[in-house]
Structure 1
Amino acid sequence: MRQRRKKEKVYMPDPLFNDPLVTRFVNNLMKNGKKNVAYRIFYGAMERIDIIKKEEEKSSLDIWKHGLKNVMPHVEVKSRRMGGSNIQIPVPISSKNKVTKAMKLLIKCASLRKENTMEKKLALEIWDAYNEQGETIKRKENIHKMAEANKAFSHFRF
């Protein structure tokens, strides 16, 4: 290999849950470098999840992690130019990219919801992802359907 391997980025654990995955999520949630606002939104969403869950024995962090796991796509399609046309080739996703795609998908679908505040939007989207319903699950299934439809081109992998 001619290129050097990228150094794996190490994330510091967040102050409340002491989890580096939360810091990674907050970094994706952050806009214009306002990390305190992003933390406030995330922690507010976790408090709302505590209110929403009634008989659930899991903590809000476990619900968030389970929802994130439900949203993770396993394959994606990449375009490749073949003989004058672009074909979609299904490619498996690495474990790091799965987490990143799931986080970005969850944040994007939460921001498109119709509720008042971002923390309420995020809490309801996480709850829907935990229960395997909502926009994020639809989008994940749509990604999988695209890969399934183009399975015939899977031997053209990069």
Structure 2
Amino acid sequence: MSRRSTPKKRIIDSDPIYRSRLVTMLISHILKEGKKSLAQKIFYQAMKNIEEKTEKDPLKVLQQAVLNATPLVEVKARRLGGSTYQVPREVKAERGTALALRWLLSSARQRPGRNMVAKLTNEIVDAANETGNAIRKREETHRMAEANKAFSHYRF
């Protein structure tokens, strides 16, 4: 891979129903084995369930869930003189959103049960209420960064 230029960012089209890029990103993350129509069915059914469960705008609930799960800092391994240090660093907005979506989906997949719609619904509602595994993962990441802030002078 060439180190001369950075690759161009792809422009993500917004979703046809909710007109949101966040929704498109989440559907792409749900996607398995190229079955986009199945991913869309799962997501839209989950959004209907969220609306029934919370009686709020499901897009706002999703945005709040992603915002709550987005980390502000993370640690990155840096090797110096034979030792590996966990160096805390700030997370850019785009990466933070990607991490939040990844954590939401992995937490939803780990929940017990067979119905992905129900698992995704519950995880999004929990994240919007600042509970759930995705929020726990964010807090764990923040704790790790706080514990290793002595190594912050090794930043990249």
Which position in structure 2 is the counterpart of 1:137? 135
1:68 aligns with 2:69: no
Aligned partner of 2:57 among 46, 56, 59: 59
Where has structure 1 moved over 3 Å in runs of 4 or more?
none
How far off is 1:63 after superposition?
A: 0.3
Q: List alignment gaps of at least 5 residues for structure 1.
A: none
Q: Counterpart amino acid of 2:27?
A: V
Which sits farther off after the overlay, 138-147 or 74-83?
Answer: 74-83
Which sits farther off after the overlay, 73-82 or 120-129?
Answer: 73-82
1:147 aligns with 2:145: yes
Which position in structure 1 is the counterpart of 2:30? 29
1:5 aligns with 2:3: no
Inter-partner Cα distance in structure 1 for 2:128 and 2:4? 39
1:77 aligns with 2:82: no
Count of residue pairs the alignment pairs up: 154
The CA RMSD measured in Å over matched residues stands at 1.1
Q: List alignment gaps of at least 5 residues for structure 2.
A: none
Inter-partner Cα distance in structure 1 for 2:133 and 2:103? 9
- Give the SS at the match of 1:15: coil
1:16 aligns with 2:17: yes
- Give the SS at the match of 2:111: coil
Which position in structure 2 is the counterpart of 1:87? 85
The CA deviation string for residues 63-120 of structure 1, in whole angstroms up to 9 with x for no partner, is: 0011100000011111111222211000111111011000001000000001331110
Which position in structure 2 is the counterpart of 1:40? 41
The CA deviation string for residues 134-158 of structure 1, in whole angstroms up to 9 with x for no partner, is: 1111110000000000000000001
Q: TM-score, normalised by structure 2?
A: 0.94
Which position in structure 1 is the counterpart of 2:124? 126
1:103 aligns with 2:104: no
Q: TM-score, normalised by structure 1?
A: 0.93
Which sits farther off after the overlay, 6-15 or 20-29?
Answer: 6-15
How far off is 1:25 after superposition?
A: 1.1
